[in-house]
Structure 1
Amino acid sequence: MDKDLPNIKRWVVIYPIYINSKKTVAEGRRISVEKACESPTCTEIGDCCSHFKLPFAIEIDKAYSRDFMQIGRVRVLLKREDGTPYNPAITTRKQLMLKVAELVPRHPGRTKKQDPAASASTAGPSKSGKHGKKKR
């Protein structure tokens, strides 16, 4: 494991913005809106990488250069030392982004989060609009 640590600098970097459908190309999205997913997190991207049996490392202390409020990125190793891919279905950064964006909406943490929210929004009146700016 120790010999892999210096090599982590050569791994592919995936920022959540790259596959975020809420962002524009100018803001950093790298795939089409149709294929992108809504507000992915580093842990969801990491879980998708482990699903594809790819070695990955989540870096919490890093921020995206175009939007420094977006903290965190995932480093992924696509190919072994001899150049053979870890997963033959994913050999490029673009393929990885497309596959991850496809999987994130079905992430277990995401599906559990959305179900209670959907039932809560239909039941009863919401309190939105109650708290605004204080008038001077």
Structure 2
Amino acid sequence: MSTGWNSSKKHSERERWISIYPIYLNSKRSLAGGRKLAKDKCVENPTYQEIRDVLLAAGMNVGVENKLHPKERSKELLFCGRIRVQLKNDDGTPVRSEFPTRDSLLEYVGTSIPKLKTRQGKQSSNEQASQPSTSTSKKGKGKGRR
């Protein structure tokens, strides 16, 4: 159980790391519904695995917790998960100079998720599914109304 914020804890301790829920980056949610960024910087239904992969590739210290955001209505596994990220060193300087704030890190994650290989595959399959089929199929004559 969390005891609240404690200034005596160091930035390297997991309790001081920032939390990122997938709902923060979900373009289908409203700002009141939990989204933290502008829609153009968000993605559709991000998962905690995608967020984790992007942050690990950026060289951040990452932890995954099995938590659910309070505003998340769905208890599906797709929407579960909380990512903890170390944003600052013990002396208060950013771990990575490109990400001095939580917002800069969220923007980076939101713009990087669409570049993942798993997202690239989903987009091409969606485009194929949206194309109309050109096959000619005969419709059988039914009995109709009486």
The correspondence of residues 26-105 of structure 1 with structure 2, limited to 5 A, is 26-59=32-65, 61-69=66-74, 70-105=79-114
2: CA distance, partners of 1:7 / 1:87: 17
The Cα RMSD (Å) is: 2.0
- Tell me the secondary structure at the aligned position of residue 13 of structure 2: helix
Provide the rounded CA distance (Å) in 2 between the counterparts of 1:17 and 1:97.
11
Q: Deviations over 1:26-49 (max 9, x none)?
A: 110011112222211111111111
Q: In the comparison of the two structures, how many residue pairs are matched?
A: 120
Shift of 1:124: 2.7
User: 1:117 Cα shift?
Assistant: 3.1
CA distance in 1, matches of 2:125, 2:13: 42
Aligned partners of 2:123 and 2:56: how far apart in 1? 23
Within the candidate set 112, 121, 129, 1:120 is matched to: 129
Between the two proteins, what is the percent identity of the paired residues?
35
The runs of 5 or more residues in structure 1 that have no matched partner are 126-136
Query: TM-score, normalising length from structure 1?
Result: 0.79
| Structure 2 length-normalised TM | 0.74
Pick closer, same or farther for the CA change 1:85–1:30 going to 2, 3 Å: same
Q: Is the 8 A contact 2:23 2:72 kept in 1?
A: no
